[in-house]
Structures are given as structure tokens and as C-alpha cells.
């Protein structure tokens, strides 16, 4: 197992982050705000899975998400906190299972990321913004349903990402272990 991050790891993580952000800008305007994570999860899950499969170590999700959170800090400390908490929950869930070398751990990381993103995001939006987000807090079944839907669509993204990983490995273009 590698012990330190290399420049190519940072660059790969940055490209996965760029892919996630670009896909948010494409999908975001197409759906209502409270459904954005559910709609984005299949695409975001692909980039998240590719990053975890290539980087494989604990902290892989943090390496992809926290730099974005820090860049957004001057614009929105709330989004920075939201991304940091989502990353912390994801890394904590996978920490007890090891790293991201196995498909099961990558699936767990992807699902936990999107489920926690919905719960943390909608609860914080309800508390800070009010309006329709506050109404969601009075309907826990809807919040739970959205979290489950994000987990399912995130799992679809994981599956698509694992399909890409398999093809890249066959072609010799992904220098990660099985």
C-alpha cells in the first residue's frame, strides 16, 4: 500500500473534482433545488468512484472534495461546512472498513456520500434558508425518501463508474490495483 500522496494523485483528484463540479452546473438548472442531489448522483457517483478506484487510500474522498470546499469558503462558509461534514461522514464510514481498494467499500463510500449530502444539505438549508426547505423538515418521510433516492441513484453512478474502471483496467490505462 502506498504511504504518501504523489503529484499525479493530486492532479487526478483535481480532475475528478472538476468533473463533479461541471456536471453540477449542467444538471442543477434542470431540476428543482431539493431534487438536485438525486438527479446529480449518477454522474457525480461516476467521478467519485473513479477517484476512489484510482486513489484507493483512506482520505481519497477528502482529497477530491475538501479543496473544493476551501475554494468555496470566501463565497459561502455554509457550503464549505456542508461539504466538509459530508466528507467527514463518508470518510468515517469507510475508515472502519479499511480503504477504497474494494468495490464494496467504494459502493459504501458513494452511497454514504450522497445520503449524507441530502440529509446534511436539506437540514442545513431548512434551518438557514427557511421557505420550502424548512417545509421539508416537517416531513421526515420526504427527507428520508430523498435520502434513499440519492443513495440509489448514487449506487447507479457507482455501478457506471465501476464499469468504466473495469474497461480502463483492461485497456491498461488505470494503474490501480484490483
Q: Global pTM?
A: 0.91
pLDDT tens-digit readout, 38-87:
999 999 999 999 999 999 999 999 999 999 999 989 998 888 999 999 99
CA–CA separation, 170 and 66 (whole Å): 31
CA–CA separation, 117 and 111 (whole Å): 10
pLDDT tens-digit readout, 77-134:
888 999 999 999 999 999 999 999 999 999 999 999 999 999 998 888 888 877 777 7
- CA dihedral (123, 129, 132, 137) in degrees, to 10, reads 30
75 is written with which cell numbers? 463565497
CA–CA separation, 40 and 154 (whole Å): 8
Amino acid at each position: 500500500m502506498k504511504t504518501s500522496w504523489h503529484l499525479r494523485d493530486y492532479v487526478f483528484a483535481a480532475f475528478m473534482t472538476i468533473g463533479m463540479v461541471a456536471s453540477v452546473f449542467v444538471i442543477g438548472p434542470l431540476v428543482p433545488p431539493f431534487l438536485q442531489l438525486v438527479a446529480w448522483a449518477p454522474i457525480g457517483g461516476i467521478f467519485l468512484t473513479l477517484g476512489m478506484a484510482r486513489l484507493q487510500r483512506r482520505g481519497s474522498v477528502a482529497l477530491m472534495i475538501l479543496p473544493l470546499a476551501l475554494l468555496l469558503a470566501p463565497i459561502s462558509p455554509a457550503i464549505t461546512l456542508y461539504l466538509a461534514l459530508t466528507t467527514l461522514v463518508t470518510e468515517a464510514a469507510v475508515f472502519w472498513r479499511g480503504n477504497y481498494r474494494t468495490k464494496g467499500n467504494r459502493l459504501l463510500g458513494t452511497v454514504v456520500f450522497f445520503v449524507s449530502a441530502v440529509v446534511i444539505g436539506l437540514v442545513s438549508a431548512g434551518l438557514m434558508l427557511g421557505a420550502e426547505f424548512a417545509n421539508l423538515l416537517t416531513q421526515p418521510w420526504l427527507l428520508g425518501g430523498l435520502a434513499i433516492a440519492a443513495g440509489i441513484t448514487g449506487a447507479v453512478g457507482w455501478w457506471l463508474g465501476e464499469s468504466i474502471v473495469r474497461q480502463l483496467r483492461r485497456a491498461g490505462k488505470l494503474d490501480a490495483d484490483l
